[in-house]
A and B are shown apart, each in its own frame.
Chain A
């Protein structure tokens, strides 16, 4: 049990509690704000795992862009802000069963497979901008270009889907 374990465990508890609140909150706006807490704690987890650049990308893209987009979506669809309309559907017990079963299976499997595995975070290269930039532009250039084309296609598709016909 090292300091990294403790920090990661605390961040994980925060992250997991926020995630549970995201999927159980009665208000879409509250769920989106809990998503911020969850992603922030996850960025801290990435920092503990020496993934510095991924942590900042997480903060910038997820907290900065995705959650804001979610809030826009919730407001544009006039989401029920009060408790008038239930946010959960009728198959909630089945969903809870599926969630608990998934958690049980995955946790058992993961613990059985990687019980004694130890991450030596003091002797790994910190994944900062230089290291990841080298990796992306030396070994993953094609995937990078494909991702940029995908983003362009998604942008055009989103505009086409939401365009209002003037008639």
Chain B
């Protein structure tokens, strides 16, 4: 099997993830795009593992570790999204400008419940 097919697929998945992270407004949809990027990295790891005929199987082991870290990331990420939702009744990332460097456009913010 040609290695470049797997690598091209991985690159295109990563690009789709980049687009999703930048274009999405809903925080949950952004998390999904992050998952796409992590999977692109996983595909690279597995493909190179098969290409090198790695005796230690480091690529596949690292892919498993990436899966573990992705699970942890989704758990904590959704917890943050939930508390953001509780704070301002919306998960629109464009409105969450409290930590922005520039002067944010002042929008009416619901007081914390």
> Which residues on the A side are within 8 Å of B25 (C-beta)?
86-89
Interface hits, A90-138 → B, CB 8 Å? 90-92, 94-96, 98-100, 102-103, 106-107, 110-111, 114-115, 117-121, 123-125, 127, 131-132, 135-136
Q: Does A37 contact B (CB under 8 A)?
A: no
A-B contact count (CB 8 A): 261
B5→A69 contact, CB < 8 A: no
Interface hits, A13-68 → B, CB 8 Å? 15-16, 19-20, 22-23, 28, 31-32, 35, 38-39, 42, 45-46, 48-51, 53-54, 57-58, 61-62, 65-66
A72 and B65 alpha carbons, distance in the complex (Å): 24
B49→A99 contact, CB < 8 A: no
> Which residues on the A side are within 8 Å of B22 (C-beta)?
91, 94-95, 98-99
A77→B4 contact, CB < 8 A: no
A87 and B24 alpha carbons, distance in the complex (Å): 6
| Interface secondary structure of B, over-half rule | helix
Q: Chain B residues in contact with chain A, CB under 8 A?
A: 1-9, 11-29, 31-33, 35-36, 39, 42-43, 46-47, 49-51, 53, 56-58, 60-61, 63-65, 67-76, 78-83, 85-86, 91-94
User: Which 9 residue pairs are nearest across A and B when measured between Cβ atoms?
Assistant: A99-B19, A23-B20, A95-B22, A154-B72, A103-B15, A106-B11, A95-B23, A161-B79, A117-B3
A65 nearest in chain B by CB position: B71
Closest Cβ–Cβ distance, residue B13 to chain A (whole Å): 5
18 residue pairs A–B, Cβ–Cβ below 8 Å: A2-B1, A8-B5, A23-B24, A23-B36, A28-B29, A39-B39, A74-B28, A79-B26, A86-B25, A89-B94, A117-B3, A118-B2, A120-B53, A121-B1, A125-B57, A127-B57, A143-B61, A143-B65
